[in-house]
Each structure stands twice: as C-alpha cells, then as structure tokens.
Amino acid sequence: MRTVLIIDDNPSVGEALSLALSLHEIRPLVALTPEEGLAMLARENVGVVIQDMNFTADTTSGEEGVALFRAIREQHPDLPVILLTAWTHLETAVELVKAGAADYLAKPWDDAKLLATVENLLELSESTREVARSRNERRRRRESLRSRYELDGLVFASEAMAQTLELACQIARSDVPVLITGPNGAGKERIAAIVHANSAVKRGPFVAVNCGALPGELIEAELFGAEAGAYTGANKAREGRFELADGGTLFLDEIGNLPLPGQMKLLRVLETGQFERLGSGRTRHAKVRVLSATNADLKAMIKAGTFREDLYYRLNVIDVNLPPLADRTDDILPLAEHFLDGRAELGDAARDALLSYPWPGNVRELKNAIERAALLSGGRAITPELLNLPAVANAPARNLDEPSREAVETALARADGVVSRAAHALGLSRQALYRRIERYGLAGSG
C-alpha cells in the first residue's frame, strides 16, 4: 500500500494529515521526533516523507528541519521529502528544495494542494524505485556475466549488450559457425574475440581478416595461402589465414565482400576442413572455428546472385546481432569515460550532447570524438564544442531565461499553485522553477 511518513512534533498536525491521506487510500505513519522518524524509515517501505522544520518548543530557526532533511537524504537519497513550513521559514525551505527536497507546503496548508503534491510524488517515488530496481538487476546481470565468462574487459551497461553477450558466450563452447551482424564500428570484432575467449579452442590462435579491406584478387590468397609465382609479386610461398588459425578461431569480417570463387572454396573448407593454396594442387587440412561478420543484407545479396545461399546457411547456424550504439544509449557514457581514462572530465552539457547524438559511426565514432576532445581539453572539463559533433544531430539548447514570467504565472495558475505540477507542465525540474519564481518575485504556494 502507498505509505506516507509524517514527522511533526505536534500530534494534531499528524492527526489532520493522517485523516486527509487515509480518505485517499494512502497509509499514514506518524513520528513525533526526528529520531523516531528515521527509525520508521529504516523498517517501513515509505513512498513520501512530510516533515516539519522545528521540533523543540520555542525553536523557530528551522535548523532541526535542515538536519533531519540531510539525514533522510543521506540514508534515502531518492526518497521525496515535502517540507512543512511557516512563512518565517520560507527562505530555508526554498534552499532545501534547491538542495533536493521535493516540495514545500506553507502552514496552514490547503488539503487539495497537499494531496495533489503527495499523489504526484508517490507516483514519482514508485517510478524511481522501479528504475532503481531495473538498474540493480542490470548491475547484477553484468556481474554475473563477468563472473561466468571472459569478457575481455568490455565496457557496457545496457540490457541490449548484456543479451548479446549472454548469447555469444552461451554458444562459444560449441563448434558451429557464428554470423555476427551489426553496423560498422559497433564492435563486431570484440564480440568475435569474446566468443573465442570462451570457446574450447581459446588456447589456439585468434586470426582476423577483413574481407572488405583486401582487393578481390588477393582475398583467396589471404585466406587459403599461395605458392610462389601463383600471382604477380608472390615471390615465395605463404600460409593463408586458415593455416595460421589451425587449432583456433578464424574471424572473417565483412564476409559479404568475399567474391564468388572464394565463397565456393570457403564452403568446402567449412564442410570438409580441406583446401588448396592458390597455385597448388596439394590438399591441406585445418581444424578451425569460423566466425564471420557483416553489415550487409546477405539475403538481398543472395537474391541478386552475389552471395551463395548454401554458404549463407552454413555460416549462419547462429546469428548474434550487435545493436547500433543509438539503440543502447546506456553504454554511451560508460564508454566515453572509459575512452577518456581520467585525462579529463565530461561536463554536464557534454554528457547531454553525447546522449542526444545518434552516433551513425557507432563506438568507433564515439572513441574518435572523445580522443579529439581529450587532446584539445588541456585538462579542462570537456564541453560540447570540444566534442565537435555535427550540428544537425545536436538538440537545440534551451534558453535558460525561458520560460517567461507570464508563462510561469500561467503554469502556476493552471496547477492551482502546485509547483511540482507547474514544473512538469513547463518541462522544468522543481528546483529550476523555484529559481524562476525567486527571480520573478512570484509567490509559489507549493
């Protein structure tokens, strides 16, 4: 049940608030001292706290309320706290709101406004708890993955990446071919290395070849080797990647760039483990775990006749999809901090810019942006200007002098003076709205 804790030394205040809350199916708890209130918080599941500012007779400084608020914030940093204050304590209450209090209500309070504020904060509290629960679940899952598998120091925080890694590590110990799909720069080779590190052949070599970085006429020689004189410039015999990867893993990146003759030879190796070097009739054998990757639409290439369908199904026994960085935004800031490696700090505006940018170049683009910013920062906090992200991707900065006085007055009127509701309507935090109320000389009623 939704629960609100009232901490006030005046029993009549506790009774009045308890009655108002109970009529709206909110369970009230009452504590007459800060110590009793903190003890209740330790054993009860409380959604919102309503606290007085003074607890000793003839004391009006509000210092006791400040101390209680800080104690609650220290032990329960996400718990919404509403301050009950007389007008003489209004300045202190506003300062506490700036420090993180949810709202303040002046005595005598208006029941309708109080209940509206409590209802909003209970909903917020529930959402906060759900976010915290989800965050803790993701953290436990990351810890579990790291304890069970070798992740090669990979930095991630998103659920999407956790799911990708879980699948990659689960299939690692089998010897079936794996196709890793995803956009350029997303980290497909890192996933391939992790599959190898958790495989039965992890003590063998891990050999990677980018099929898209080689001229078509050299790809076969690169994969299968070549005898001396097999092509112009081949002055001596050379081993191919299959021979080098014998007993380990061969990672074929950009497999869609492999020409059709090479595809046919690759299919044979996958089926029999046999191949011939370019220019040789001698059959060789290699036991290799093949992983491949592509950002191309292989099914479309099959229809176009540029990729063999039998090879596709041979390579794609298991498909591990690596989402683009834009689809796993929880990874952006941890990766940025990892790339910075303590050389500079990310300013708040830079963090916002990183999170709002779509990252078409994925992790590779993020790394380049951070490297550039770190070099230019001179040890200062990194700003959006140092990141130099394309302007088209940046969200327009909000003018901090807006909304206008009239907009604030209208929002407060429509919200019946409830600051939390008015702030939501304006797209501001409560603290930001209080600063504008103060600047414009307006009287926010809580």
pLDDT class of 297 with cuts at 50, 70, 90: very high
pLDDT at 218: 81
Kindly give the residue spans of alpha helices, DSSP state H, lying in 108-259. Answer: 111-148, 159-170, 188-197, 216-224, 241-244
**How many angstroms separate the CA atoms of 376 and 373, rounded?**
5
pLDDT class of 92 with cuts at 50, 70, 90: confident
Instruction: Examine residue 259 and say whether the peptide bond preceding it is cis (omega within 30 degrees of 0).
Output: no
Buried residues in 47-61 as b, exposed as e (16+ CB within 10 A)? bbbbbbbbbeeeeee
Task: Write the pLDDT tens digit of every residue in 384-440.
Answer: 999 999 874 444 344 444 566 777 777 777 776 667 677 777 767 666 676 677 666
Task: Write the pLDDT tens digit of every residue in 45-69.
Answer: 999 999 988 887 666 677 888 899 9
pLDDT at 446: 42
**How many angstroms separate the CA atoms of 31 and 7, rounded?**
5
pLDDT class of 376 with cuts at 50, 70, 90: very high
Mean pLDDT of the chain: 86
pLDDT at 397: 40
Task: Write the pLDDT tens digit of every residue in 312-331.
Answer: 999 999 999 999 999 999 99
Buried residues in 241-259 as b, exposed as e (16+ CB within 10 A)? bbbbbbebbbbbbbbbbbe
Weakest-pLDDT range from 69-83, 114-128, 340-354: 114-128
Q: At what angle do helices 430-440 and 405-414 cross, to 10 degrees?
A: 120
pLDDT at 444 over 70: no
